[in-house]
Structure 1
Amino acid sequence: MSIFEYNGSALVAMVGKNCFAIASDRRLGVQLQTIATDFQRISKIHDKLFIGLSGLATDAQTLYQRLVFRHKLYQLREERDMKPETFASLVSAILYEKRFGPYFCQPVIAGLGDEDKPFICTMDAIGAKELAKDFVVAGTASESLYGACESMFKPDMVCLYI
């Protein structure tokens, strides 16, 4: 069994017409044992940017704390919020920095950029980005989520149908 499957997770992000949706499960488990049913995998960075972290729960929480710290430093220096593309590059750099002892998590980033253009991407444990124009999935249920997303996704969906 992979260390990525130890706590289990399911994350999906999908884009629509000037909007996006990001969703996850709330179960925290240790293999087949359920520890909690209210675990938060998706976190708000600012009003137009969210990150979901699947994988080992302790590494996900540590990585999230580092990302919040770096975003606050960026806000102090630049006096503005990060664009989703910039934040994705930051996450990728932090993950690549720890490539020899990686964080065992797979981030999913979703946000609205300039002129409310939706942005979604996912990464592996060493920060290799996978940009998408339709949807991204992550976690132990990714095979099932791919099928559901491929059957339900239509280009330029309105927010109500995502």
Structure 2
Amino acid sequence: MLEETAPEWLSEEVKTGTTIIAIEFNGGVVLGSDSRVSAGASVVNRVMNKLSPLHDKIYCALSGSAADAQTIAEIVNYQLDVHSTEIGEDPQVRSAATLVRNISYKYKEELSAHLIVAGWDRRGGGCFCPSFPPFAVGGSGSLYVYGFVDAEYHRGMSRKESQQFVVNTLSLAMNRDGSSGGVAYIVTIDEHGTEEKVILGNQLPTFFDQ
């Protein structure tokens, strides 16, 4: 007798299984991510934007469980709005990073998410992660590009150079990591505001083995 069964991917946790990156440049920051979302071995979303705004000039890049990461981003977005109203000015990037850190640590047994917080405030651009270098890379694809980032990143890059660096990093990771793919989302933040770009898969740079 045949029994109706749900697809296996319906019982799997939806994960961004991803490549995310944020780097500083003179006057601001650039964040980037791929767009693939998977549940088990199935791709359930090919074009998810994993760069989530926390405030006007503060964004976070999401990886891990899609539901957990989005929930953290929404909570921090709300708390920053309240904080901004209380102090009468835009919040600092450090405040956003602290909120993300506190929530992630408090619920570390329940949540499976990794966020990179970056943005621009009156003290200048900032990319925040545990060791506070001028860049941060995360997600499953980061294993394939850490060497590239360590070797090729340098301080003092222009806005355009930084954007291209992020695109190159994402393209390399998406070519090697089976959990990364789709399109590349880029957000550039400086004192003048934010600029969002989408680079389609067929517009990404190609390298030797492609």
**Contact 1:108/1:121, CA 8 A, preserved across alignment:** yes
Q: Which has the larger radius of gyration?
A: 2
SS in 2 for 1:130: coil
Q: Say if 2:116 and 2:136, in contact at 8 Å, map to a contact too.
A: yes
Determine the C-alpha separation between the residues in 2 that align with 1:64 and 1:36: 19
In 2: Cα distance, 1:71 partner to 1:92 partner: 14
Alpha-carbon RMSD across the aligned residues, in angstroms, is 2.1
Percent identity of the aligned residues? 21
Please, which of 74, 78, 93 is the counterpart of residue 83 of structure 2? 74
1:34 match: secondary structure: strand
Aligned to 2:51: 42
Residue aligned with 1:132, SS: coil
TM-score of the aligned structures, taking structure 2 as reference length: 0.66
Q: Which amino acid aligns with 1:65?
A: E
Q: Which residue of 2 is the match for residue 138 of structure 1?
A: 138
Partner of 2:148: 148
1:145 CA drift (Å): 2.4
- SS in structure 2 at match of 1:131: coil
Q: 1:126 maps to which residue?
A: none
* Alignment deviations for residues 97-146 of structure 1 (CA, whole Å, 9 cap, x no partner): 223x342111101111325x221123xxxxxx33112x110111111121
Residue in structure 1 matched with residue 119 of structure 2 by the alignment = 111
**Do structure 1's residue 26 and structure 2's residue 27 form an aligned pair?**
no
Do the aligned residues in 2 keep the contact of 1:63 with 1:103 (CA within 8 Å)?
Answer: no
| Number of residue-to-residue matches in the alignment | 151
2:128 to 100, 118, 121: 121
For 2:98 and 2:50, the matched residues in 1 are separated by 20
CA contact (8 A) 1:4 1:104 kept: no
Unaligned runs of 5+ in 1: 123-128
- Aligned in 2, Cα 1:5/1:139: closer, same or farther, shift over 3 Å? farther
The equivalent of 2:161 in structure 1 is: 161
Contact kept in structure 2, 1:111 and 1:120, CA below 8 Å: yes
Normalising by structure 1, report the TM-score: 0.84
Provide the rounded CA distance (Å) in 1 between the counterparts of 2:53 and 2:113.
17
